[in-house]
Chain A
Amino acid sequence: MSLDKSKKILVFDTSANACSVALWANGKVACSCFQVMSRGHSEALVPMIEEVFEKYDGCDIDVSDLSAIAVTIGPGTFTGIRIGLATARALALPRRLPVIGLTNFDVVFWQAPKVKGSKLVVLETKREDFYVQFFEENNEAVQGPLALTGEEIQTRLPAESITLVGDGAERLDQQLVESGRKPSRLFSDVEPVAMEFAELASKRFDSGVYADPEPLYLRAPSVTVLARK
């Protein structure tokens, strides 16, 4: 246990195409790790957490020094969401630490460049549809989260221009342009990175408004039946 008693939040993401861990301490990201990966999160995550603990200011800290744990809850890969949440809950359990769940929409919206006008966060589903959530200029999420097809999104969009943010932005914009809409402003390379959304986790912690997080799958399980063991 470290003597440094400042607020410390361990933040991580395993929900999509990378694995990232950050430690928020003394009002900033004190140290972090990031690796691009489409699989292998279950092997990488815990050693990366240990690495972040070791890197902190040169003085080894551990879970007992934490004030909270924050994790992305989706939508993303089902397996990735579960790896993150199972680890966060287990880390928190012995000391009853609070766990803060952040949706991937909140995180991607937070990480996107701050530009005027309303935004649509569009996350790739790797299927026909998109995971979307609308945010107004005042940073309020106004609709969603939802899983919608391009056509369904088209009918719900306001006439004025909107900024599309997230890894599904480009594919959606193509579809919208094909059906007659003017190209939108795109920030398509915004994906969850713990060191970038750690401050959001800290703000959420300070607000005290968070509940035990549940996974946000946004899709019912596909049914393939196996023999029972």
Chain B
Amino acid sequence: MRILGIESSCDETAVAIVDGDRQILSNQVLSQITEHEEYGGVVPEIAARSHLSHIDRLVKKAMTEAKIDFRDLNGIAATAGPGLIGGVLVGMMTAKGLSIATGLPFIAINHMEGHALTPRLTGTLDFPYLALLISGGHSQFVSITGISKYSILGTSIDDAVGEAFDKTAKLLDLDFPGGPALEKRAKSGDPTRFALPRPMLGRPNCDLSFSGLKTAVRNVVEKHKGHLDNEAISDLAASFQNAVADCLIDRCNKAVEDFRSIHPTGNTFVIGGGVAANEYIRKKLKNCVNDLGLRFVAPPINLCGDNGAMIAWAGIERLRLGLINKLDFPARPRWPLDAPHSGAHS
């Protein structure tokens, strides 16, 4: 079985071809970073225009690299949400167009489902498992017991982790995209220099919160009237990253407890999403999860950020169960992972 997967929900235009034996035959990811750089964040209309400019060329490139013809495919999958609607529509309409041009089934994928199922693409992993999905748009703990069987144990009540990273990086006047720039600066910083809050610590549920942490960084910057020297910026970056890790670890403890109470046999914890590429956070989470007696699974760095391979893989998982979609499927800018997959038939 081979599926072509399309992802265009934020600022990466991505097309991949994956087969049922977990082989990634092509994985084209075109970042729009340089187009958004001067604005210090993603501009939705620029993103949508850029997706349209590149997506069909990436489809051709993926087909060429995979050395296959459309007749060798079994389905076309695309992100149908959540995300920036303009971009999602470009990818989804490309998939629908390819679907009627080839007669192949169309499979609508929830972007977060792509992240959640990635560890089943990169290795052997049975259900149930617990996932922590952390990106610029989302932060959530998800209990996964099967395809389309997702239950959200906790979520950020304000900013997503990646959003907090990017906003904090902006406060520190670091390059765009802020997350990776902040991680780099934090490497040479002292994580204990600035006392920053750890929101939600010890709360009885699995929810997360990061906006207070970002505000605390702003207060430090304002107290120094914006005149932080290089060393202080690195120390503040490190202190922020450390605080995020502490919050995640505390929340992980709670999430694992909740997950175990529902699934006593569940023994795996996976992370996914762009922030899962942060090595410091990965390491801290791995230690925490291992201490709790669970197996820790993190996808390779190139499959943490947005990509088409995860969408193609989710397509394979769904197609195996006959879960294909009608061609009137609506794009859904807000689409909780545990909401019904409307429009699915069979």
Q: Which B residues between 323 and 338 are near A, CB-CB below 8 angstroms? A: 326-331
A146 at the interface (CB under 8 A from B): no
Distance of B185 from chain A, by nearest CB (Å): 17
Q: Which chain A residues numbered 10 to 59 have a C-beta less than 8 Å away from chain B?
A: 40, 42-47, 49-50
Q: How far is the CA of A42 from the CA of B179 in the complex (A)?
A: 33
CA distance A152 to B159 in the complex (A): 45
In A59-73, the 8 Å CB interface with B consists of 62-63
Beyond A79-B89, A82-B52, A229-B162, is A90–B96 a contact (Cβ under 8 Å)? yes
Flag if A93 contacts B59 (CB, 8 Å): yes
B46 touches A221 (CB 8 A): yes
- The interface centre, meaning the residue of B39, B40, B52, B159 with most chain A CB atoms within 10 A of its CB, is B52
Question: Is the C-beta of B197 less than 8 angstroms from some C-beta in chain A?
Answer: no
Q: Is B199 an interface residue (CB 8 A)?
A: no
Contact A78 B86 (CB under 8 A): yes
Q: Kindly provide the distance from the CB of A102 to the nearest chain B CB, expressed in whole angstroms.
A: 17
Instruction: Indicate if the CB atoms of B331 and A42 lie closer than 8 Å.
Output: yes
In the complex, A141 has a CB within 8 A of chain B? no
A sample of 21 cross-chain residue pairs with beta-carbon separation below 8 angstroms, ordered by A number, consists of A44-B328, A46-B100, A63-B101, A82-B48, A82-B49, A83-B93, A85-B52, A87-B96, A91-B101, A93-B101, A94-B70, A94-B98, A215-B52, A226-B42, A226-B44, A227-B42, A227-B136, A227-B167, A228-B10, A228-B36, A229-B10
Closest 5 CB pairs of A and B: A90-B97, A225-B41, A221-B45, A229-B136, A229-B10
Since A86-B55, A229-B137 are in contact, a sample of 19 more A-B pairs with Cβ atoms closer than 8 Å, ordered by chain A residue number, is A42-B89, A42-B93, A46-B328, A47-B327, A78-B86, A79-B86, A82-B49, A82-B86, A86-B91, A90-B59, A91-B101, A92-B101, A94-B70, A95-B101, A221-B49, A227-B137, A228-B166, A228-B176, A229-B274
